[in-house]
Amino acid sequence: MDSKQHNFSKFIEIKDVIVKSNDRTILNIPHAIIPADRICACIGPNGAGKTTLLKLLDGLIKPDTGSVTHSFAANQSSLVLHHTPMIKASTKTNIAIVRDIDPSISSQDIGVVMEQIGLSNLADIPAHKLSAGERQKLCLGRAILQKPHLVLLDEPTANLDPTTTDQVEQIIRQFKLQGSEVIFTSHQLAQVQRLAEYLLFIDHGEIKEKGPVGPFFTNPQTQAAKRYLQQELLVD
């Protein structure tokens, strides 16, 4: 699926990376070049290391050994984890937290983004009263305001109904319009086919396959990928 050559305009290169937790190896990646110029999906079984990989790419965690090199400014990424805490305040205040990082973000900017993500009518509602889907839109709104080059999303539509899933997917597509690319994890293979151009398949902490989405689904190269697809397609 993936040759040694690449034609990515922006990318992240991983070399000899090992990440451990409690003496257990979570990631073991001898070498990988991951595109940061297109929407990329990261898939694999539960516990495969997908969330850890996102944290590694964001710089939130450091590898025990090896290096992670960005072809762009490494601080130009925004990580949205599956369970992002809210402060005890309004929806608008929770979105406006990003002004602590970038004071140049204006109240008008916040208003525009709240309209974009469909939360304008909930601006004064306490954030803890929002639904799971509304909280996810809030988190995506924060990412939009930061205008990162790369947005890293961990299971962005987990446990959401089909209508809200569609709304969140539309927001993800909008990132590209503002110049941000996306790497996201998902167990929904239909979603991966809808959104992603490139794919990473992780199993037991290793990147077993990577390349364009289409060939992975039509002709997976490893037994691990074949087993995963067979199991997931039964329930997707």
pLDDT score, position 116: 92
In a domain, 3, yes or no: no
The per-residue DSSP string of 151-188 comes to EEEESTTTT--HHHHHHHHHHHHHHHHTT-EEEEE-S-
In a domain, 67, yes or no: yes
Report pTM.
Answer: 0.91
Domain that includes residue 157, residue range: 11-233
Would residue 4 count as lying in a domain? no
User: What is residue 179's predicted lDDT score, i.e. its pLDDT?
Assistant: 86
What percentage of the chain carries pLDDT values higher than 90? 76
pLDDT for 198 beyond 70: yes
pLDDT tens digits, 115-165: 999 999 999 999 999 999 999 999 999 999 998 889 999 999 998 999 999
Over 90: is that where the pLDDT of 230 sits? no
In a domain, residue 1? The reply is no
Tell me how far CA of residue 189 lies from CA of 44, 50, 112, 133, in angstroms.
10, 15, 32, 20
CATH of the domain at 147: 3.40.50.300
Q: Is residue 63 part of a domain?
A: yes
Number of domains in the chain: 1
Residue 180 counted as domain residue:
yes
The answer for residues whose C-beta is within 8 angstroms of residue 7's C-beta and 6 or more apart is: none
